[in-house]
Amino acid sequence: MKPKIGLITLGVTDLKRSLKFYRDGLGFPTHDYKDDAGIVFFKLEGTWLALYPKDKLAEDLNLPLVKGVGGILGGVTLAHNVGTKEEVGAVVEQAVNAGAKLIKQPQDVFWGGYSGYFADPDSHLWEVAWNPFMDLT
């Protein structure tokens, strides 16, 4: 796998509040933002940043939502993007062979991509994704 984190996703409880904080407060530029999209991407130098409702993030991970926690208590995923579905499987396999725990078997996802999740030795969550709409490889 290429040594790169393509995207950091922060689980948030109020998408509009967080959008306001990062876009208007810190001045981060959004990427292709739509009011009803349910997710916000910021095109940053280096790794991009995404905001996503915490309950949806838990759902995507197929993990229980731990209510009331955030920040040092949770809700962050790191993403590594690849160019094909096959590579998703290969990277997840490489991680599992290195001792990672498989969290979600690579599979087609509702937004049109293909992804899987693994957890590192401290349970930090990594998504490995093929995204035909946005090139973060």
Note whether 135 binds a second copy by CB under 8 A.
Answer: no
| 3-state SS, one letter per residue, for 47-113 | CEEEEEEHHHHHHHHCCCCCCCCCECCECEEEEEEECCHHHHHHHHHHHHHCCCEEEEEEEECCCCC
How near is the Cβ of 114 to a second copy at its closest, in Å? 20
The amino acid present at 111, given as its one-letter code, is: W
Q: Does 5 engage in binding with a second copy (CB under 8 A)?
A: yes
Nearest distance from residue 119's CB to a second copy, in Å?
Answer: 6
DSSP for residue 30: B
Sign of the four-CA dihedral 113, 67, 100, 81: positive
Check binding of 129 to a second copy (CB under 8 A). no
Count of residues near a second copy by CB under 8 A? 58
Query: x/- string (CB under 8 A) for a second copy, residues 47-86?
Result: x-x----x---x--x-x--x--xxxxxxxxxx--------
Out of 125, 127, 130, 131, the only residue in the binding site for a second copy (CB under 8 A) is 125
Burial of 39 (0-12, 13-18, 19+ CB in 10 A): middle
Distance CA 114, CA 121 (A): 24
The answer to whether 2 contacts a second copy (rule: CB under 8 A) is yes
8 near a second copy, judged by CB under 8 A: yes
Binding-site ranges for a second copy (CB under 8 A): 1-6, 8, 10-14, 17-18, 20-22, 24-29, 42-47, 49, 54, 58, 61, 63, 66, 69-78, 94-95, 97-100, 119-125
